[in-house]
Amino acid sequence: AVFLTVFTLVLDFMKRRRKWSRYPPGPTSLPFIGTMLSVDFQNPHLSFNKLQKKFGNVFNLQNCWTNMVVLNGYKAVKEALVHRSEDFADRPYMPVYEQLGYGSKFPGIVMARYGHVWKELRRFTLSTLRNFGMGKKSLEERVKEEAGFLCSEISSEEGRPFDLRFLVNNAVCNVICTTIYGKRFDYGDETFKKLLHLFEEFLKEETGFLTQLLNVVPTLLHIPGLLQKVFRGQKEFMDFTDMFVHKHMETWNPAYTRDFTDEFLKEMKKGKAAEESGFNYNNLRLVTTDLFGAGTETTSTTLRWAVLYMILHPEIQSKVQAEIDKVIGRERSPTMEDQVSMPYTNAVIHEVQRCGDVVPIGVPHRTYRDTELQGFFIPKGTTIITNLSSVLKDETVWEKPNEFYPEHFLDTNGKFVKPEAFLPFSAGRRVCLGEQLARMELFIFFTTLLQKFTFVLPEDQPRPREDGHFAFISSPHPYLVRAIPR
Protein backbone atom coordinates (compact mmCIF):
# COMPACT_ATOMS: atom_id res chain seq x y z
CA ALA A 1 0.00 0.00 0.00
CA VAL A 2 2.86 2.37 0.88
CA PHE A 3 4.55 1.66 -2.44
CA LEU A 4 1.30 2.28 -4.31
CA THR A 5 0.65 5.56 -2.48
CA VAL A 6 4.18 6.83 -3.19
CA PHE A 7 3.91 5.70 -6.81
CA THR A 8 0.55 7.53 -7.24
CA LEU A 9 1.92 10.67 -5.64
CA VAL A 10 5.02 10.65 -7.87
CA LEU A 11 2.88 10.07 -10.96
CA ASP A 12 0.51 12.89 -9.99
CA PHE A 13 3.44 15.18 -9.29
CA MET A 14 5.08 14.40 -12.64
CA LYS A 15 1.80 14.92 -14.48
CA ARG A 16 1.49 18.40 -13.07
CA ARG A 17 5.06 19.20 -14.02
CA ARG A 18 4.35 18.59 -17.68
CA LYS A 19 6.76 20.59 -19.82
CA TRP A 20 4.96 23.24 -21.80
CA SER A 21 6.93 25.04 -24.46
CA ARG A 22 7.28 28.78 -23.72
CA TYR A 23 6.31 28.19 -20.06
CA PRO A 24 7.94 30.88 -17.86
CA PRO A 25 11.34 29.98 -16.38
CA GLY A 26 11.87 29.38 -12.69
CA PRO A 27 14.02 27.75 -10.02
CA THR A 28 14.68 24.01 -10.06
CA SER A 29 11.75 22.01 -8.78
CA LEU A 30 12.39 19.17 -6.30
CA PRO A 31 10.15 16.11 -5.95
CA PHE A 32 7.03 16.80 -3.84
CA ILE A 33 8.11 20.13 -2.37
CA GLY A 34 8.65 21.70 -5.80
CA THR A 35 10.36 25.09 -5.49
CA MET A 36 9.23 25.80 -1.94
CA LEU A 37 12.81 26.14 -0.70
CA SER A 38 13.28 29.15 -3.00
CA VAL A 39 10.72 31.24 -1.11
CA ASP A 40 10.92 32.69 2.39
CA PHE A 41 7.29 32.38 3.45
CA GLN A 42 7.79 35.01 6.16
CA ASN A 43 8.56 37.56 3.43
CA PRO A 44 7.49 36.11 0.08
CA HIS A 45 7.55 39.47 -1.72
CA LEU A 46 11.25 39.87 -0.87
CA SER A 47 12.00 36.39 -2.24
CA PHE A 48 10.01 37.24 -5.36
CA ASN A 49 12.09 40.39 -5.86
CA LYS A 50 15.26 38.28 -5.76
CA LEU A 51 13.82 35.68 -8.15
CA GLN A 52 12.66 38.48 -10.47
CA LYS A 53 16.27 39.63 -10.79
CA LYS A 54 17.30 36.10 -11.77
CA PHE A 55 14.40 34.92 -13.96
CA GLY A 56 12.71 38.11 -15.17
CA ASN A 57 9.26 39.62 -14.64
CA VAL A 58 7.32 36.40 -15.22
CA PHE A 59 8.61 33.26 -13.52
CA ASN A 60 7.17 29.98 -12.37
CA LEU A 61 7.16 28.34 -8.96
CA GLN A 62 5.77 25.08 -7.79
CA ASN A 63 4.22 25.00 -4.37
CA CYS A 64 4.08 21.23 -3.76
CA TRP A 65 1.35 20.20 -6.18
CA THR A 66 0.37 23.69 -7.30
CA ASN A 67 1.74 25.29 -10.46
CA MET A 68 2.20 28.98 -9.87
CA VAL A 69 3.34 31.89 -11.98
CA VAL A 70 4.47 35.10 -10.31
CA LEU A 71 3.99 38.41 -12.15
CA ASN A 72 6.34 41.27 -11.33
CA GLY A 73 6.58 44.91 -12.31
CA TYR A 74 3.98 47.25 -13.74
CA LYS A 75 4.04 46.02 -17.35
CA ALA A 76 3.45 42.32 -16.67
CA VAL A 77 0.85 42.92 -13.94
CA LYS A 78 -1.04 45.45 -16.07
CA GLU A 79 -1.02 43.20 -19.13
CA ALA A 80 -2.52 40.36 -17.11
CA LEU A 81 -5.05 42.23 -14.99
CA VAL A 82 -6.15 44.90 -17.46
CA HIS A 83 -5.50 43.70 -21.01
CA ARG A 84 -6.25 40.02 -20.37
CA SER A 85 -8.59 40.61 -17.50
CA GLU A 86 -10.90 37.64 -18.02
CA ASP A 87 -8.07 35.17 -18.64
CA PHE A 88 -6.73 35.98 -15.16
CA ALA A 89 -10.02 36.51 -13.31
CA ASP A 90 -10.44 33.14 -11.61
CA ARG A 91 -9.39 32.29 -8.05
CA PRO A 92 -7.48 29.17 -7.07
CA TYR A 93 -9.48 26.31 -5.71
CA MET A 94 -9.09 26.42 -1.93
CA PRO A 95 -10.13 23.01 -0.61
CA VAL A 96 -10.50 24.28 2.95
CA TYR A 97 -13.36 26.57 1.94
CA GLU A 98 -15.25 23.73 0.37
CA GLN A 99 -14.63 21.47 3.32
CA LEU A 100 -15.88 23.99 5.82
CA GLY A 101 -19.40 23.12 4.81
CA TYR A 102 -21.04 26.50 4.96
CA GLY A 103 -21.58 28.21 1.63
CA SER A 104 -19.29 25.59 0.26
CA LYS A 105 -20.33 25.90 -3.35
CA PHE A 106 -20.13 29.70 -3.58
CA PRO A 107 -17.68 30.97 -1.01
CA GLY A 108 -18.50 34.67 -0.68
CA ILE A 109 -16.77 37.08 -3.02
CA VAL A 110 -13.07 37.28 -2.28
CA MET A 111 -12.29 33.60 -2.92
CA ALA A 112 -15.26 32.88 -5.21
CA ARG A 113 -14.46 31.21 -8.51
CA TYR A 114 -14.97 33.39 -11.57
CA GLY A 115 -18.47 32.85 -12.95
CA HIS A 116 -22.04 34.12 -12.89
CA VAL A 117 -22.55 33.70 -9.13
CA TRP A 118 -19.46 35.77 -8.31
CA LYS A 119 -20.51 38.37 -10.92
CA GLU A 120 -24.01 38.66 -9.49
CA LEU A 121 -22.79 38.91 -5.89
CA ARG A 122 -20.11 41.44 -6.76
CA ARG A 123 -22.54 43.61 -8.73
CA PHE A 124 -25.11 43.39 -5.93
CA THR A 125 -22.55 44.21 -3.20
CA LEU A 126 -21.09 47.15 -5.10
CA SER A 127 -24.43 48.71 -5.89
CA THR A 128 -25.82 48.08 -2.39
CA LEU A 129 -22.81 49.65 -0.72
CA ARG A 130 -22.95 52.57 -3.15
CA ASN A 131 -26.64 53.16 -2.49
CA PHE A 132 -26.11 52.92 1.23
CA GLY A 133 -23.48 55.46 1.21
CA MET A 134 -20.32 54.48 -0.64
CA GLY A 135 -19.65 57.75 -2.41
CA LYS A 136 -22.88 59.16 -0.97
CA LYS A 137 -23.30 61.64 1.84
CA SER A 138 -24.75 59.28 4.42
CA LEU A 139 -21.76 56.95 4.73
CA GLU A 140 -19.44 59.93 4.56
CA GLU A 141 -21.33 61.40 7.51
CA ARG A 142 -20.86 58.14 9.42
CA VAL A 143 -17.13 58.08 8.67
CA LYS A 144 -16.87 61.70 9.83
CA GLU A 145 -18.77 60.87 12.99
CA GLU A 146 -16.48 57.89 13.63
CA ALA A 147 -13.40 60.08 13.09
CA GLY A 148 -14.80 62.35 15.83
CA PHE A 149 -15.15 59.40 18.24
CA LEU A 150 -11.63 58.28 17.40
CA CYS A 151 -10.26 61.75 18.17
CA SER A 152 -12.02 61.93 21.55
CA GLU A 153 -10.58 58.54 22.51
CA ILE A 154 -7.12 59.74 21.47
CA SER A 155 -7.61 62.96 23.48
CA SER A 156 -8.27 60.88 26.57
CA GLU A 157 -4.69 59.55 26.30
CA GLU A 158 -3.67 63.15 27.27
CA GLY A 159 -0.45 63.13 25.29
CA ARG A 160 0.87 59.95 26.94
CA PRO A 161 2.63 57.33 24.78
CA PHE A 162 0.15 54.76 23.45
CA ASP A 163 -0.29 52.19 20.69
CA LEU A 164 -2.79 53.43 18.09
CA ARG A 165 -3.65 49.96 16.87
CA PHE A 166 -6.58 49.24 19.17
CA LEU A 167 -8.36 52.58 18.65
CA VAL A 168 -7.87 52.69 14.88
CA ASN A 169 -9.09 49.08 14.54
CA ASN A 170 -12.22 49.97 16.49
CA ALA A 171 -12.95 52.99 14.32
CA VAL A 172 -12.47 51.16 11.01
CA CYS A 173 -14.38 48.10 12.20
CA ASN A 174 -17.25 50.37 13.22
CA VAL A 175 -17.49 51.69 9.64
CA ILE A 176 -17.98 48.11 8.41
CA CYS A 177 -20.48 47.42 11.22
CA THR A 178 -22.43 50.52 10.18
CA THR A 179 -22.48 49.36 6.59
CA ILE A 180 -23.44 45.77 7.28
CA TYR A 181 -25.52 45.99 10.45
CA GLY A 182 -26.58 49.64 10.39
CA LYS A 183 -24.99 50.41 13.76
CA ARG A 184 -21.76 51.45 15.43
CA PHE A 185 -20.59 50.39 18.88
CA ASP A 186 -18.95 52.22 21.76
CA TYR A 187 -15.34 51.11 21.97
CA GLY A 188 -15.91 49.68 25.46
CA ASP A 189 -19.07 47.74 24.47
CA GLU A 190 -18.71 44.08 25.49
CA THR A 191 -20.35 42.72 22.31
CA PHE A 192 -18.03 44.84 20.18
CA LYS A 193 -14.99 43.73 22.14
CA LYS A 194 -15.97 40.10 21.63
CA LEU A 195 -16.58 40.69 17.92
CA LEU A 196 -13.13 42.23 17.52
CA HIS A 197 -11.47 39.49 19.53
CA LEU A 198 -13.11 36.69 17.54
CA PHE A 199 -12.30 38.48 14.31
CA GLU A 200 -8.64 38.73 15.26
CA GLU A 201 -8.52 35.01 16.02
CA PHE A 202 -10.19 34.30 12.71
CA LEU A 203 -7.63 36.39 10.79
CA LYS A 204 -4.76 34.62 12.55
CA GLU A 205 -6.22 31.29 11.51
CA GLU A 206 -6.86 32.31 7.94
CA THR A 207 -3.29 33.46 7.36
CA GLY A 208 -1.76 30.72 9.49
CA PHE A 209 0.68 28.12 8.28
CA LEU A 210 -1.70 25.21 8.79
CA THR A 211 -4.40 26.77 6.59
CA GLN A 212 -1.90 27.32 3.80
CA LEU A 213 -0.61 23.77 4.20
CA LEU A 214 -4.13 22.33 4.00
CA ASN A 215 -4.73 24.26 0.81
CA VAL A 216 -1.62 22.93 -0.91
CA VAL A 217 -1.81 19.41 0.52
CA PRO A 218 -5.56 18.81 0.70
CA THR A 219 -5.05 15.10 1.48
CA LEU A 220 -4.41 16.20 5.07
CA LEU A 221 -8.06 17.25 5.27
CA HIS A 222 -8.91 13.59 5.73
CA ILE A 223 -7.29 13.55 9.18
CA PRO A 224 -10.34 13.32 11.44
CA GLY A 225 -11.15 16.48 13.41
CA LEU A 226 -8.27 18.55 11.99
CA LEU A 227 -10.48 20.92 10.04
CA GLN A 228 -12.73 21.67 12.99
CA LYS A 229 -9.66 22.34 15.11
CA VAL A 230 -7.97 24.62 12.59
CA PHE A 231 -11.11 26.64 11.92
CA ARG A 232 -12.48 26.95 15.42
CA GLY A 233 -11.99 30.74 15.36
CA GLN A 234 -13.67 31.23 12.02
CA LYS A 235 -16.65 29.17 13.09
CA GLU A 236 -16.95 31.08 16.37
CA PHE A 237 -16.78 34.42 14.55
CA MET A 238 -19.49 33.41 12.11
CA ASP A 239 -21.69 31.90 14.80
CA PHE A 240 -21.37 35.14 16.73
CA THR A 241 -22.39 37.27 13.75
CA ASP A 242 -25.49 35.06 13.35
CA MET A 243 -26.89 36.92 16.33
CA PHE A 244 -26.96 40.17 14.32
CA VAL A 245 -28.50 38.47 11.30
CA HIS A 246 -31.22 36.85 13.41
CA LYS A 247 -32.10 40.23 14.92
CA HIS A 248 -32.40 41.61 11.40
CA MET A 249 -34.63 38.74 10.37
CA GLU A 250 -36.95 39.33 13.33
CA THR A 251 -37.28 43.05 12.64
CA TRP A 252 -37.04 42.98 8.87
CA ASN A 253 -39.41 45.28 7.00
CA PRO A 254 -39.32 45.00 3.19
CA ALA A 255 -40.49 48.59 2.83
CA TYR A 256 -37.50 49.99 4.66
CA THR A 257 -33.95 48.82 4.04
CA ARG A 258 -31.57 49.69 6.86
CA ASP A 259 -28.28 48.25 5.68
CA PHE A 260 -26.44 45.63 3.65
CA THR A 261 -27.89 42.70 5.63
CA ASP A 262 -31.46 43.88 4.98
CA GLU A 263 -30.77 44.24 1.29
CA PHE A 264 -29.29 40.73 1.13
CA LEU A 265 -32.31 39.30 2.98
CA LYS A 266 -34.53 41.01 0.41
CA GLU A 267 -32.67 39.21 -2.39
CA MET A 268 -33.02 35.92 -0.53
CA LYS A 269 -36.77 36.44 -0.18
CA LYS A 270 -37.11 36.95 -3.92
CA GLY A 271 -36.92 33.19 -3.92
CA LYS A 272 -34.31 32.71 -6.62
CA ALA A 273 -33.04 29.15 -6.41
CA ALA A 274 -30.67 29.71 -3.50
CA GLU A 275 -28.10 27.18 -4.66
CA GLU A 276 -27.95 28.73 -8.10
CA SER A 277 -27.91 32.41 -7.21
CA GLY A 278 -25.61 32.57 -4.21
CA PHE A 279 -28.25 34.52 -2.25
CA ASN A 280 -28.61 32.04 0.56
CA TYR A 281 -28.08 32.22 4.28
CA ASN A 282 -24.63 30.64 4.26
CA ASN A 283 -23.45 33.06 1.68
CA LEU A 284 -24.81 36.02 3.61
CA ARG A 285 -22.49 34.92 6.42
CA LEU A 286 -19.59 34.48 4.02
CA VAL A 287 -20.05 37.74 2.14
CA THR A 288 -20.31 39.75 5.35
CA THR A 289 -17.27 37.92 6.73
CA ASP A 290 -15.47 38.86 3.50
CA LEU A 291 -16.35 42.52 3.99
CA PHE A 292 -14.99 42.39 7.54
CA GLY A 293 -11.93 40.45 6.42
CA ALA A 294 -11.08 42.53 3.37
CA GLY A 295 -12.24 45.89 4.69
CA THR A 296 -10.87 46.33 8.20
CA GLU A 297 -7.27 45.21 8.63
CA THR A 298 -6.27 46.69 5.23
CA THR A 299 -7.60 50.15 6.02
CA SER A 300 -6.58 50.28 9.67
CA THR A 301 -3.06 49.09 8.83
CA THR A 302 -2.76 51.82 6.18
CA LEU A 303 -3.75 54.41 8.80
CA ARG A 304 -1.09 53.08 11.17
CA TRP A 305 1.48 53.40 8.39
CA ALA A 306 0.24 56.97 7.83
CA VAL A 307 0.84 58.00 11.45
CA LEU A 308 4.19 56.18 11.47
CA TYR A 309 5.39 58.07 8.39
CA MET A 310 4.24 61.34 9.99
CA ILE A 311 6.32 60.77 13.12
CA LEU A 312 9.31 59.73 11.01
CA HIS A 313 8.92 62.77 8.73
CA PRO A 314 7.78 65.68 10.93
CA GLU A 315 8.44 68.22 8.16
CA ILE A 316 5.90 66.42 5.93
CA GLN A 317 3.41 66.31 8.80
CA SER A 318 3.77 70.11 9.21
CA LYS A 319 3.15 70.67 5.51
CA VAL A 320 -0.03 68.56 5.62
CA GLN A 321 -1.21 70.48 8.70
CA ALA A 322 -0.52 73.81 6.99
CA GLU A 323 -2.68 72.72 4.04
CA ILE A 324 -5.45 71.53 6.39
CA ASP A 325 -5.37 74.89 8.22
CA LYS A 326 -5.52 76.78 4.93
CA VAL A 327 -8.30 74.81 3.24
CA ILE A 328 -10.42 73.51 6.15
CA GLY A 329 -9.32 75.46 9.22
CA ARG A 330 -9.37 74.08 12.76
CA GLU A 331 -13.13 74.02 13.45
CA ARG A 332 -14.96 72.49 10.48
CA SER A 333 -14.71 68.71 9.90
CA PRO A 334 -12.95 67.61 6.70
CA THR A 335 -15.22 66.40 3.88
CA MET A 336 -14.48 64.57 0.64
CA GLU A 337 -15.10 67.80 -1.26
CA ASP A 338 -11.94 69.22 0.32
CA GLN A 339 -9.82 66.58 -1.38
CA VAL A 340 -9.52 68.39 -4.73
CA SER A 341 -8.20 71.50 -3.01
CA MET A 342 -5.59 69.55 -1.03
CA PRO A 343 -3.05 68.16 -3.51
CA TYR A 344 -0.26 67.80 -0.95
CA THR A 345 -2.35 65.88 1.60
CA ASN A 346 -3.71 63.72 -1.21
CA ALA A 347 -0.18 63.02 -2.42
CA VAL A 348 0.92 62.09 1.11
CA ILE A 349 -1.98 59.62 1.51
CA HIS A 350 -1.12 58.01 -1.85
CA GLU A 351 2.54 57.81 -0.89
CA VAL A 352 1.54 56.14 2.41
CA GLN A 353 -0.28 53.50 0.39
CA ARG A 354 2.60 53.09 -2.05
CA CYS A 355 5.32 52.84 0.59
CA GLY A 356 3.23 50.99 3.19
CA ASP A 357 2.40 48.42 0.51
CA VAL A 358 -0.16 46.66 2.72
CA VAL A 359 -1.17 43.84 0.36
CA PRO A 360 2.28 43.12 -1.14
CA ILE A 361 1.47 39.93 -3.01
CA GLY A 362 -2.20 40.69 -3.71
CA VAL A 363 -4.83 37.98 -3.52
CA PRO A 364 -4.02 34.91 -5.66
CA HIS A 365 -5.67 34.69 -9.08
CA ARG A 366 -5.98 31.68 -11.37
CA THR A 367 -6.03 31.47 -15.15
CA TYR A 368 -9.54 30.91 -16.43
CA ARG A 369 -8.28 29.61 -19.79
CA ASP A 370 -4.96 28.94 -21.55
CA THR A 371 -3.36 32.30 -22.17
CA GLU A 372 -0.23 34.20 -23.20
CA LEU A 373 1.64 36.83 -21.27
CA GLN A 374 4.80 38.73 -22.20
CA GLY A 375 5.47 36.04 -24.82
CA PHE A 376 5.03 33.13 -22.36
CA PHE A 377 2.38 30.44 -22.42
CA ILE A 378 0.39 30.02 -19.19
CA PRO A 379 -2.03 27.09 -19.07
CA LYS A 380 -5.56 27.23 -17.69
CA GLY A 381 -5.74 26.53 -13.96
CA THR A 382 -2.35 28.05 -13.06
CA THR A 383 -2.26 29.97 -9.77
CA ILE A 384 -1.17 33.54 -10.44
CA ILE A 385 0.56 35.71 -7.86
CA THR A 386 0.44 39.41 -8.64
CA ASN A 387 3.45 40.88 -6.87
CA LEU A 388 1.82 44.29 -6.23
CA SER A 389 4.82 45.29 -4.15
CA SER A 390 7.03 45.07 -7.25
CA VAL A 391 4.61 47.43 -9.04
CA LEU A 392 4.42 49.96 -6.20
CA LYS A 393 8.22 49.93 -6.00
CA ASP A 394 8.96 49.40 -9.71
CA GLU A 395 12.31 51.10 -10.38
CA THR A 396 11.31 51.87 -13.97
CA VAL A 397 8.35 53.97 -12.79
CA TRP A 398 9.10 55.61 -9.45
CA GLU A 399 11.85 58.18 -8.97
CA LYS A 400 12.70 57.05 -5.42
CA PRO A 401 10.99 53.64 -5.10
CA ASN A 402 12.27 52.88 -1.62
CA GLU A 403 11.86 56.29 -0.02
CA PHE A 404 8.84 58.09 1.40
CA TYR A 405 8.57 60.82 -1.20
CA PRO A 406 5.10 62.43 -1.68
CA GLU A 407 6.43 64.26 -4.76
CA HIS A 408 5.82 60.98 -6.65
CA PHE A 409 2.23 62.22 -6.83
CA LEU A 410 2.85 65.91 -7.58
CA ASP A 411 3.80 67.61 -10.84
CA THR A 412 6.23 70.51 -11.01
CA ASN A 413 3.34 72.95 -10.32
CA GLY A 414 2.33 71.09 -7.15
CA LYS A 415 -0.76 69.62 -8.85
CA PHE A 416 -1.82 66.11 -7.82
CA VAL A 417 -1.04 63.41 -10.40
CA LYS A 418 -1.55 59.67 -10.12
CA PRO A 419 0.88 57.45 -12.04
CA GLU A 420 -0.80 54.39 -13.60
CA ALA A 421 1.47 52.09 -11.61
CA PHE A 422 -0.29 53.10 -8.40
CA LEU A 423 -2.05 49.75 -7.89
CA PRO A 424 -2.46 49.09 -4.14
CA PHE A 425 -6.06 48.02 -4.85
CA SER A 426 -4.93 45.85 -7.81
CA ALA A 427 -6.80 46.26 -11.14
CA GLY A 428 -9.13 44.59 -13.63
CA ARG A 429 -12.17 42.45 -12.91
CA ARG A 430 -11.10 41.52 -9.40
CA VAL A 431 -10.01 45.03 -8.41
CA CYS A 432 -10.73 45.78 -4.74
CA LEU A 433 -14.47 46.09 -4.30
CA GLY A 434 -14.09 48.52 -1.39
CA GLU A 435 -11.68 50.93 -3.05
CA GLN A 436 -14.05 53.89 -2.92
CA LEU A 437 -14.92 53.34 0.73
CA ALA A 438 -11.27 52.81 1.63
CA ARG A 439 -10.26 56.05 -0.10
CA MET A 440 -12.95 57.94 1.76
CA GLU A 441 -11.90 56.49 5.10
CA LEU A 442 -8.22 57.21 4.51
CA PHE A 443 -8.87 60.84 3.58
CA ILE A 444 -11.39 61.63 6.34
CA PHE A 445 -9.59 59.80 9.15
CA PHE A 446 -6.14 61.07 8.19
CA THR A 447 -7.08 64.74 7.78
CA THR A 448 -9.24 64.73 10.93
CA LEU A 449 -6.38 63.22 12.96
CA LEU A 450 -3.83 65.75 11.72
CA GLN A 451 -6.28 68.62 12.13
CA LYS A 452 -6.63 67.79 15.82
CA PHE A 453 -3.19 66.39 16.77
CA THR A 454 0.49 66.48 16.07
CA PHE A 455 1.96 62.98 16.33
CA VAL A 456 5.43 62.62 17.82
CA LEU A 457 7.75 59.83 18.84
CA PRO A 458 7.94 59.51 22.66
CA GLU A 459 11.36 60.74 23.88
CA ASP A 460 12.49 57.40 25.31
CA GLN A 461 11.44 55.33 22.28
CA PRO A 462 13.85 54.05 19.61
CA ARG A 463 13.14 55.14 16.04
CA PRO A 464 10.48 52.68 14.76
CA ARG A 465 11.43 50.28 11.97
CA GLU A 466 10.24 51.18 8.49
CA ASP A 467 10.09 47.64 7.14
CA GLY A 468 6.79 45.81 7.40
CA HIS A 469 5.83 42.68 9.26
CA PHE A 470 4.24 40.24 6.79
CA ALA A 471 1.25 38.04 7.55
CA PHE A 472 -0.55 38.29 4.21
CA ILE A 473 -0.92 41.97 5.11
CA SER A 474 2.25 43.97 5.65
CA SER A 475 1.88 46.05 8.82
CA PRO A 476 4.23 48.29 10.77
CA HIS A 477 6.05 46.73 13.71
CA PRO A 478 4.30 47.85 16.93
CA TYR A 479 5.23 51.39 17.92
CA LEU A 480 4.18 53.93 20.54
CA VAL A 481 3.17 57.46 19.70
CA ARG A 482 2.21 60.65 21.54
CA ALA A 483 -0.71 62.67 20.19
CA ILE A 484 -0.23 66.34 21.14
CA PRO A 485 -3.48 68.35 20.79
CA ARG A 486 -3.14 71.27 18.38
Least gap, CB of 109 to ligand HEM (angstroms): 5
DSSP SS3 for 196? helix
Least gap, CB of 351 to ligand HEM (angstroms): 13
Given the complex with ligand HEM, which of 91 and 482 has the nearer CB atom? 91
Name residues contacting ligand HEM, limited to 352-391 (CB under 6 A): 358-359, 362-363, 386
Region binding ligand HEM by CB under 6 A among candidate stretches 68-76, 142-150, 247-255, 421-429: 421-429
Least gap, CB of 476 to ligand HEM (angstroms): 14
Given the complex with ligand HEM, which of 35 and 474 has the nearer CB atom? 474
Least gap, CB of 430 to ligand HEM (angstroms): 4
Cβ count within 10 A of residue 105? 15
Name residues contacting ligand HEM, limited to 210-249 (CB under 6 A): none
d(CA 299, CA 280): 28
Name residues contacting ligand HEM, limited to 424-443 (CB under 6 A): 424-426, 430-434, 437-438
Given the complex with ligand HEM, which of 364 and 458 has the nearer CB atom? 364
Least gap, CB of 356 to ligand HEM (angstroms): 9
Least gap, CB of 168 to ligand HEM (angstroms): 12
| Using rule CB under 6 A, residue 452 touches ligand HEM | no
Name residues contacting ligand HEM, limited to 291-350 (CB under 6 A): 291, 294-295, 298-299, 302
One DSSP character per residue, 364-383 reads -EE-SS-EEETTEEE-TT-E
Whether the Cβ atoms of residue 463 and residue 457 lie closer than 8 Å to each other: yes
Question: CA angle, 135 as apex, 248 and 200 as ends, to 5°?
Answer: 55
Instruction: Residue 404: name the closest of 283, 308, 281, 271 by CA.
Output: 308
In sequence order, the 6+-apart residues with CB closer than 8 A to the CB of 7 are: none
- The number of residues that bind ligand HEM (CB under 6 A) is 25
d(CA 242, CA 284): 10
In sequence order, the 6+-apart residues with CB closer than 8 A to the CB of 50 are: none
Least gap, CB of 329 to ligand HEM (angstroms): 27
Alpha carbon 11 to its chain's center? 37
Name residues contacting ligand HEM, limited to 85-114 (CB under 6 A): 109-110
Given the complex with ligand HEM, which of 38 and 241 has the nearer CB atom? 241
* Closest residue to ligand HEM: CB criterion: 434
DSSP SS3 for 229? helix
Whether the Cβ atoms of residue 342 and residue 322 lie closer than 8 Å to each other: no
- List residues bridging with 204 in a β-sheet: none
CB-based burial of residue 255 (10 Å sphere; 0-12 exposed, 13-18 middle, 19+ buried)?
exposed
Helix or strand (DSSP H, E) at 271 = none
Least gap, CB of 475 to ligand HEM (angstroms): 12
Residues of this chain that interact with ligand HEM (CB under 6 A) are 109-110, 122, 290-291, 294-295, 298-299, 302, 358-359, 362-363, 386, 424-426, 430-434, 437-438
